[in-house]
């Protein structure tokens, strides 16, 4: 029977499980990672794992949610503090978003190990739908916060989806194909964001 932890211990163990899980998931993928190994790496008994997470998939999604929260915080901070003309701000916003997509280790491991279909099966459509609803609400907040004029949230979601699709297809492209395509998408992003609303 797992021992009871005080609040400080719970926070420390949760952080250890997330760090150990991230390392295991990066090396092995979510499917192949084993709870026993994550617990051993974190220095806790396997039975204690379930006091924190119902499954390794939920551990992974908690890591994803925390990274997304940081990214969203950065995006809102950019939008609220950005100076300059509309085109310049839209271009810098695109650059920041693409950099986050290209360099995020959690997104890279999802793509590298092909985990999307697996996670959808294991977590169910409700969990994924909730994530999409949260993303939509966040994009609407960004669109409202954009200084100068409100942006069209649907356009922004579409453009961000295109960015994600391009970045996740990078492995199938040469650098000579990827960079010009990214620059073309950047121009589309800027044009669509600064286009006057009707």
* Residue spans of alpha helices (H) in the chain: 7-32, 35-42, 46-49, 56-81, 86-103, 105-113, 116-145, 153-168, 175-194
In the chain, which stretches have pLDDT less than 70? 1-4, 147-150, 196-198
pTM here is 0.81
- pLDDT value for 148: 64
Residue that has been written with the tokens 């649907």 in this structure:
154
* Domains defined along the chain, listed by start: 1-53 (1.10.10.60), 56-194 (1.10.357)
- pLDDT value for 57: 94
Nearest to 146 by CA among 73, 86, 64: 86
Do residues 82 and 149 make contact, with C-beta atoms less than 8 angstroms apart? no
- pLDDT value for 41: 96
Nearest to 109 by CA among 8, 188, 38, 24: 24
- pLDDT value for 22: 94
- pLDDT value for 85: 87
Do residues 107 and 121 make contact, with C-beta atoms less than 8 angstroms apart? no
Distance CA 155, CA 193 (A): 8
- pLDDT value for 44: 92
- pLDDT value for 1: 43
* CA dihedral (193, 132, 22, 116) positive or negative: negative
Residue-wise pLDDT tens digits, 57-84? 999 999 999 999 999 999 999 988 878 8
């Amino acid at each position: 029977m797992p021992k009871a932890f005080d609040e400080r211990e719970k926070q420390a163990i949760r952080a250890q499980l997330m760090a150990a899980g991230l390392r295991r998931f990066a090396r092995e993928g979510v499917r192949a990672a084993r709870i026993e190994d994550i617990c051993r790496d974190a220095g806790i008994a396997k039975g204690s794992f379930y006091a924190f997470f119902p499954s390794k998939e939920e551990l992974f999604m908690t890591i994803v949610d925390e990274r997304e929260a940081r990214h969203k915080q950065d995006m809102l901070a950019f939008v609220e503090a950005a100076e300059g003309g509309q085109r310049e701000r839209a271009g810098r916003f695109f650059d920041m978003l693409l950099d986050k997509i290209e360099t995020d280790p959690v997104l890279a491991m999802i793509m590298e190990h092909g985990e999307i279909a697996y996670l959808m099966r294991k977590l169910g459509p409700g969990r994924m739908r909730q994530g999409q609803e949260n993303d939509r609400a966040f994009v609407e907040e960004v669109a409202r916060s954009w200084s100068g004029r409100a942006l069209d949230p649907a356009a922004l979601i579409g453009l961000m989806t295109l960015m994600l699709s391009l970045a996740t297809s990078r492995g199938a492209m040469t650098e000579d194909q990827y960079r010009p395509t990214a620059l073309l998408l950047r121009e589309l992003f800027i044009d669509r964001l600064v286009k006057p609303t009707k």
